[in-house]
């Protein structure tokens, strides 16, 4: 089956899908994106992802390219045309196409919109949850508006490549000794006392949708969550560590910079959060 992408109003063969060379996303990373999990052919937490998209656009003063309901139709149609049951749908909105100039283009410039969807390898995902993943740490050298989900991800790309070259799954950014987040995930630990700790999302990290849902999952399971920064030393001494994201929900971490976390196996807290995630997450209609 051939893949299909939605590009500025048209469903086109994925192999031919393209934007203009003067698209501001291409020229300046002047755009934002969202990634939503697809499960059983339905989007997970569409509402929260749409709300975050609108916030990101507002922060950058880019117009919403179409009303949220219409965008929902495009997302669903892209999922349907690609026959995705278990996978992700990706959405990108940029400030549009204009002659290259740093200033905002004229207000009548239409934002560009691209939507793609693809299946993910469920066996591979299950294997990494079963075995747990390794992470490395890198200095957090990003700008201070990482709360906006922009396509400007070069520090994240370099961090994740460094992780890959070190045989690890993810890189945790560390600023002033405190872990901020992963290259494409939020970072969590479980203390020896059993408290779940993750950094506040006021600034310095992306407010992950999975992170938000996990607060409620933890609450339902009667687990204590502390929203505060944790140091790398605290992480190394933790009982468990894990990462969260829409594409992989919860993945247990078994080593940091080559040092074993807990007993070196995926921990029970990460497992129970993962197991109960879909009891709280919202499923969109097909």
| Rounded Cα gap, residues 108 and 251, in angstroms | 44
CB of 164 to ligand PLP, least distance (A): 16
What's the token pair of residue 172?
Answer: 């945790």
Binding residues for ligand PLP restricted to 93-122, rule: CB under 6 A:
none
Round to whole Å and give the CA distance between 107 and 257. 48
Where does the chain have alpha helices with state H?
Answer: 24-28, 46-60, 68-81, 122-131, 154-165, 209-220, 232-236, 268-280
DSSP 8-state code for residue 84: -
Q: What is the Cα–Cα distance from 151 to 29, expressed in whole angstroms? A: 6
Could you say whether residue 244 binds ligand PLP (CB under 6 A)?
Answer: yes
CB of 157 to ligand PLP, least distance (A): 11
Task: Give yes or no for residue 46 binding ligand PLP (CB under 6 A).
Answer: no
Residue of minimal CB distance from ligand PLP? Answer: 208
The answer to whether 246 contacts ligand PLP (rule: CB under 6 A) is yes
Task: Give the pair of three-digit tokens for residue 26.
Answer: 């291409």
* Residue 166 makes contact with ligand PLP by CB under 6 A: no
Q: How far is the CB of 153 from ligand PLP (least distance, A)?
A: 7
Active site residue 265: no
Report the length, in residues, of the chain. 286
For ligand PLP, the binding residues in 129-158 under the rule CB under 6 A are 156
Q: Single out the residue of 181, 218, 238, 284 in contact with ligand PLP (rule: CB under 6 A).
A: 181
CA gap 146, 148 in Å, rounded? 5
Q: Which of 149, 160, 259, 286 is catalytic?
A: 149
Q: What is the DSSP letter of 283?
A: B
In the set 35, 151, 195, 225, which binds ligand PLP (CB under 6 A)? 35
Q: Which of 75, 88, 190, 209 binds ligand PLP (CB under 6 A)?
A: 209
Distance CA 115, CA 82 (A): 11
Rounded to a whole number of angstroms, the minimum distance from the CB of residue 3 to ligand PLP is 21
| Catalytic residue numbers, as ranges | 149
Interface ranges with ligand PLP (CB under 6 A) = 35, 156, 181, 184-186, 206, 208-211, 244-246
């Amino acid at each position: 089956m051939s893949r299909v992408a939605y590009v500025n109003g048209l469903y086109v063969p994925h192999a031919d899908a393209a934007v203009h060379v003067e698209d501001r996303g291409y020229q300046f990373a002047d755009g934002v994106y969202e990634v939503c999990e697809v499960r059983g052919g339905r989007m997970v937490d569409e509402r929260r992802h749409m709300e975050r998209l609108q916030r990101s656009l507002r922060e950058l003063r880019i117009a919403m390219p179409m009303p949220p309901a219409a965008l929902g139709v495009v997302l669903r149609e892209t999922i349907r045309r690609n026959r995705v049951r278990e996978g992700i749908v990706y959405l990108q909105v940029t400030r549009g196409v204009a002659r290259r100039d740093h200033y905002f283009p004229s207000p009548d410039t239409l934002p560009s919109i691209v939507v793609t969807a693809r299946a993910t390898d469920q066996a591979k995902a299950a294997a990494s949850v079963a075995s747990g993943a390794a992470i490395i740490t890198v200095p957090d050298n990003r700008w201070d508006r990482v709360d906006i989900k922009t396509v400007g991800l070069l520090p994240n790309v370099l961090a994740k490549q460094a992780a890959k070259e070190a045989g690890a799954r993810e890189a945790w950014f560390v600023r002033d000794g405190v872990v901020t987040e992963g290259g494409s995930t939020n970072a969590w630990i479980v203390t020896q006392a059993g408290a779940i700790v993750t950094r506040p999302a006021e600034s310095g990290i992306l407010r992950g949708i999975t992170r938000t849902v996990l607060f409620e999952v933890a609450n339902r399971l009667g687990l204590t969550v502390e929203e505060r920064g944790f140091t790398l030393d605290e992480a190394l001494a933790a009982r468990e560590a894990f990462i969260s994201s829409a594409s992989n929900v919860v993945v247990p971490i078994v080593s940091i910079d080559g040092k074993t976390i807990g007993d070196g196996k995926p921990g029970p807290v990460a497992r129970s959060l993962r197991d109960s995630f879909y009891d709280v997450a919202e499923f969109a209609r097909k």
